[in-house]
Structure 1
Amino acid sequence: MKVLHFPPGGDGFEAFLRESGPALLRLGHLLTLDRAAAEDLAQETYIKIGLAWSRVRKDGNPVGYARRTMVNLFLNSRRRARPMPVPQVPETPREDPALAAVDSAAVIRQILAGLPPQQRAALALRYLDDLPDDEIGALLGCTPATVRSHLSRGLATLRARREGEHHAPRP
């Protein structure tokens, strides 16, 4: 886990945002699989952290608090997901450069989108943030054994679907 060093003076919130922002946005993108939704999720996370900053700063683990907040917001939004009308549909979707570099990123995104939210969150926290089972369990509100189950099932699904893509007959 990265240790943040805040400059003397001020409350350190802006420095926290600068240092942790890119990593939180990457986590949000892996959770939502959509750049705009990831930005919205990150913004919601920053608002919640900002409102609780004095307590979060005293706790000494603002990155962990931010991760947990983001995962909770993601999982809660999935439970009450409703389509939101927009005034105008964007002409072209934006791709995340990190995922665009992956071979057949569209296939991987489609496979990840088919995973249940808990499995996708567990995979993102393990392989993006390299967290151990007990920390992932604390973030997801489950036991380390359940985390291992989410990871195992998620990876099995990813492997099976990825294999199916390689062996599917071409039109």
Structure 2
Amino acid sequence: MSSAEDDEFAAFVAARGTSLLRVAYLTSGDEGEAEDLLQTALERAYRNWDRVRYDNPEPYVRRIIVNTSIDRARRRAILRIIPMHTPPEPSPYETDVDLRHVLMGTLRALPPRQRAVIVLRYWEDLSEAQTAEILGCSAGTVKSQASKALARLRTALGGRSSEGMIRNVHA
């Protein structure tokens, strides 16, 4: 790769790295895993930078993050080492911080594909079509996975609006 391409890649990472790390964290639920996912995605993007740089490279990197996260979760499920966290019961005196903990715990407990849909649709505010493209599925699959995931989140939040909570939790 030329020096100009290296500089272009470094500028992309500097500009979008934090956002991509957030996607990695939300899809994996673990800081260390998120850093590994981002490193893997950036390494793959760097190897293909001459091809990827002409389009918008961010969706390409997001897709790598999401797919790698799903693959790793499947491998852990096969080995049966996925920790299942039970969200705490909401108390009548809970604060927004408590709600965030419940939401994040429930998000971590979602199946990887549902978690990816929620992260991309509501945290990253992507359209159904954009989310479907990143996940390599149909818009209908995105809708059904979002519906199932939101129902689980709504139950964990005691009937509160999960969509509004999801959009506001990282604000």
State if a TM-score over 0.5 links the two structures.
yes
Check the 8 A contact 2:107/2:115 in 1, yes or no. yes
Check the 8 A contact 2:102/2:156 in 1, yes or no. no
Q: TM-score, normalised by structure 1?
A: 0.76
Question: Mapping of 1:83-94 within 5 angstroms?
Answer: none
Displacement after TM superposition at 1:80 (Å): 1.4
Which runs of structure 1 show a deviation greater than 2 angstroms over 4 or more consecutive aligned residues? Answer: 81-84
More helix by share: 2
Q: Which amino acid aligns with 2:25?
A: H
Task: Tell me the equivalent position of 1:167.
Answer: none
Displacement after TM superposition at 1:106 (Å): 2.5
**Are 1:116 and 2:84 an aligned pair?**
no
Task: Tell me the equivalent position of 2:127.
Answer: 132
Question: Mapping of 1:71-86 within 5 angstroms?
Answer: 71-81=66-76
CA distance in 2, matches of 1:24, 1:153: 25
Displacement after TM superposition at 1:128 (Å): 1.5
The DSSP-based 3-state class of the residue aligned with 1:10 is helix
Measured on the aligned residues, the alpha-carbon RMSD in Å equals 2.1
5+ residue gaps, structure 1:
1-8, 85-100, 165-171
Structure 1 window deviating more from structure 2 (155-164 vs 48-57): it is 155-164
* Structure 1 pair 32–137 and aligned structure 2 pair: CA distance change class (3 A): same
> In the alignment, which of 103, 113, 137 is matched to residue 97 of structure 2?
103
> In the alignment, which of 13, 18, 26 is matched to residue 17 of structure 1?
13
* Structure 1 pair 15–102 and aligned structure 2 pair: CA distance change class (3 A): farther
5+ residue gaps, structure 2:
82-94, 160-171
Displacement after TM superposition at 1:121 (Å): 0.2
**Are 1:26 and 2:22 an aligned pair?**
yes
